């Protein structure tokens, strides 16, 4: 359900967008968390000098444009019993990475999947996926499923389970508040 | 876990109501009253099961960001991790099982600021540091399907 073929390189699309400042303030104010009150959008708008209708209209547009990838309840995996959190990385030939990434993303147990720039010699890996599971053996089985299904048996791979979480919260753009970027570690 | 909690955790990770009274609308769908929805969400937040009801921004859509990793000697890990966490630009910070053992996401308004934060962290920690900016996303964060047991 989630292959995103329209993904653009970071920063390429909106950097010159003149609408950004107001939208940015809204995103930041919102991502700090909607107030848990009867009229949360009106309350959000009051702090930004926007009417409730303007807030709703802007949010609809930001969602439609894909600037906001989702609006809703943001859960903490660990507290809900998903304690086996693996970042799996592969060193895939550049010409194959898009096809393999899209195939990988179709597996329901893959929470996030993306390509990142390599940083040799320490880090030759370019394809990343995140799997959040309850038990480590299940996650390892899922990694083997991915490896076989995507033809990656001979591709260098690492599995990095998380140990301690030192910080998890929304991102911060410098306007005094926070937003969550879908770029989870 | 109560049914209501499950529904609130599962059913509203995306497509949250964009209406003047979203919590009342959720309550109507779930057959409870608005006060119960608000109270349950407050409890879930207090228990740490949700961080908030909010927005997830697509990587690269706003500002600049990267995933960074450092190889920190075990004896210094907590100290270095806590120092990294003090940066408001750092939003996720995890220990992982690898020689590169500290992984964190940096998000800033601009590319210049991003580079400045990376340089600052590298200078202060004096550990090998790599930066792995995203080039393409194949699966965005569209919520997380919870399998109840």
Domain spans in chain A, listed from the N-terminal domain onward: 20-74, 78-161
Q: Which CATH code, of 3.30.70.590, 3.40.309.10, 2.60.40.10, 3.30.70.3460, is assigned to B64-132?
A: 3.30.70.3460
Name the band, by pLDDT with cuts 50, 70 and 90, for residue A173: low
Rounded to the nearest angstrom, the minimum Cα separation between B67 and chain A is: 7
In this prediction, residues A86-106 reach a mean pLDDT of 96
Using pLDDT thresholds of 50, 70 and 90, give the confidence band for residue B56.
confident
pLDDT band, residue A16 (cuts 50/70/90): very low
Tokens 């609809």 belong to which residue? A60
CB of A51 within 8 Å of a chain B CB? The answer is no
Chain A residue numbers with beta carbons less than 8 Å from the beta carbon of B84 are 166
Return the H-helix or E-strand segment holding B25: helix B22-30
Interface probe for B, chosen from A166, A170, A175, A176 (most Cβ of B below 10 Å), is A166
Helix (H/G/I), strand (E/B), else coil: A171: strand
Instruction: Please tell me the CATH code under which domain A20-74 is placed.
Output: 1.10.10.10
- In this structure, the dihedral spanned by the alpha carbons of residues A47, A53, A58 and A63, taken in order and rounded to 10 degrees, is 110
State the complex-level ipTM: 0.78
Domain boundaries along the sequence of chain B = 3-46, 64-132
**pLDDT top residue among B129 and A75:** B129
Fold assignment, A78-161: Alpha-Beta Plaits (3.30.70)
Q: Which of B89, B100, B133 sits opposite A122 (nearest CB)?
A: B100
Tell me what pLDDT residue B144 has: 59
CB of A144 less than 8 A from some CB of B: no
pLDDT for res A169: 65
Topology agreement, domain A20-74 and domain A78-161: no
Looking at residue B32, the DSSP 8-state letter turns out to be S
| Cβ count near A31 (within 10 Å) | 27
Q: Is the pLDDT of residue B6 over 60?
A: yes
- The band of A184, judged by pLDDT with boundaries at 50, 70 and 90, is very low
Q: What is the mean pLDDT of chain A?
A: 81
| pLDDT tens figures, A27-75 | 877 766 899 999 999 999 998 889 999 999 999 999 999 888 889 998 8
């Amino acid at each position: 359900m989630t292959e995103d073929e329209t993904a653009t390189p970071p920063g390429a699309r909106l950097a010159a967008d003149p609408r950004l400042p107001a939208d940015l303030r809204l995103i930041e104010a919102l991502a700090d968390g909607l107030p848990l009150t009867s009229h949360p959008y009106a309350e959000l708008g009051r702090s930004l000098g926007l009417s409730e209708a303007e807030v709703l209209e802007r949010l609809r547009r930001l969602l439609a444009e894909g600037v906001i990838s989702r609006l809703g309840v943001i859960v903490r995996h660990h507290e809900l019993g998903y304690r086996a959190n693996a970042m799996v990385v592969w060193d895939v030939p550049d010409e194959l990475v898009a096809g393999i990434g899209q195939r990988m993303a179709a597996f329901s147990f893959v929470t996030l999947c993306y390509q990142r720039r390599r940083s040799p010699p320490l880090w030759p890996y370019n394809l990343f996926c995140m799997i959040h599971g309850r038990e480590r053996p299940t996650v390892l089985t899922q990694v083997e499923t991915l490896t076989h299904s995507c033809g990656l048996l001979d591709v260098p791979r690492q599995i990095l389970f998380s140990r301690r979480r030192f910080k998890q919260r929304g991102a911060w753009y410098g306007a005094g508040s926070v937003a969550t970027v879908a770029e989870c570690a | 876990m109560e049914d209501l909690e499950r529904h609130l955790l599962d059913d509203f990770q995306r497509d949250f109501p964009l209406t003047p009274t979203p919590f009342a609308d959720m309550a109507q769908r779930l057959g409870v009253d608005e006060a119960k929805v608000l109270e349950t969400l407050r409890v879930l937040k207090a228990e740490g099961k949700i961080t908030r009801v909010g927005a997830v921004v697509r990587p690269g859509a706003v500002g600049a960001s990267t995933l960074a990793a450092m190889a920190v000697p075990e004896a210094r890990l907590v100290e270095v991790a806590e120092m990294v966490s003090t940066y408001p630009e750092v939003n996720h910070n995890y220990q992982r099982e690898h020689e590169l053992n500290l992984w964190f996401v940096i998000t800033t308004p601009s590319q210049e600021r991003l580079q400045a934060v990376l340089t600052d962290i590298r200078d202060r920690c004096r550990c090998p540091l790599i930066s792995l900016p995203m080039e393409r996303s194949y699966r965005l964060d569209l919520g997380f399907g919870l399998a109840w047991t």
